[in-house]
Amino acid sequence: MTDLTPIETKSRLKRLGLFGLLACLDELADKPWLHEVLAIEERERHKRSLERRLKNSRVATFKPMSDFDWSWPKKIDREAVDDLFAPGFVATGHNAVLVGPNGVGKTMILKNVAHQAVVRGHTVRFSTASDMLADLAAQESSAALARRLRRYTVPALLCIDEVGYLSYDSRYADLLFEVVTRRYEAHRPILLSTNKAFSDWGQVFPHAACVVTLVDRLVHRAEVIEIEAESYRLKEAKELSALRTKQRRAKKR
């Protein structure tokens, strides 16, 4: 390992909060074990930080992108999807919206992007739209709501899954508008999936006055990626059914 300068060693000690060692640095600078201790502490803190960010992200289990069948969709911009995994995606502050019917891999992509962002050191929050909006709507006071909003507005990346699968009243639309607006103003990106065209969001949030502005702020500085395909889950179900039928027939012979 390359020897570090006293300034670099001092910086590492400050960053780690090892002020006792820092106070005695003049006495310890030449000790051969000092840099090994720093390396051990940094590795352990990196590990704990990663574990904490993974837990807070709520990504849970998911299939890796290596399992994604790129030949299945009739339409998908693979380069645009790949850009979501680029190191600079979160830093751009730009949103991305995946639009497509059920069962075409939108959630799979969201969870993989979220996980990759966590591994790269970002704070991430993953939630379905219904869970997030129900969580916010359940807050009984303005102060409680303000605190809970931070759960969705502070992380470097927010992933909102399944917008459009349910319809919501104006209160829920206002809450989503608040989340989108705060992140828009802070240049923090949202990665969102929906099975509805934006022109149909009035059906998702009927009678909500903010829908047009909500969509406008969401898609400004955003990449909209359309996926056209039959349900891959339905395809797998049919294949499994055919396989089981074949196996049962073989047993009868």
Return d(Cα 104, Cα 195) in angstroms, integer. 10
Return d(Cα 29, Cα 6) in angstroms, integer. 7
Which three-class secondary structure string do you get for 110-179? HHHHHHHHHHCCCCEEEEEHHHHHHHHHCCCCHHHHHHHHHHHHCCCEEEEEEECCCCCCHHHHHHHHHH
Pair 226, 109: CB distance under 8 Å: no
Segments of the chain with pLDDT less than 70: 1-4, 235
Question: According to the model, what pLDDT value does residue 62 have?
Answer: 94
Question: According to the model, what pLDDT value does residue 150 have?
Answer: 97
Pair 173, 78: CB distance under 8 Å: no
- How far apart are the two ends of the chain, measured CA to CA in Å? 68
Is the pTM of the predicted complex or chain greater than 0.75? yes
Question: According to the model, what pLDDT value does residue 249 have?
Answer: 76
Question: Residue 93 class from Cβ within 10 Å (0-12 exposed, 13-18 middle, 19+ buried)?
Answer: middle
Contacts of 147 (CB under 8 A, 6+ apart): 139
Angle 115-117-123 (CA atoms, 0-180°, nearest 5)?
100
Question: According to the model, what pLDDT value does residue 3 have?
Answer: 64
Long-range contacts of 4-11 (CB under 8 A, 24+ apart): 4/35, 9/34, 9/35, 9/38
Beta strand pairing status for 124-128 and 95-99?
Answer: unpaired
What backbone phi and psi angles, to 5 degrees, belong to 244?
A: -65, -40
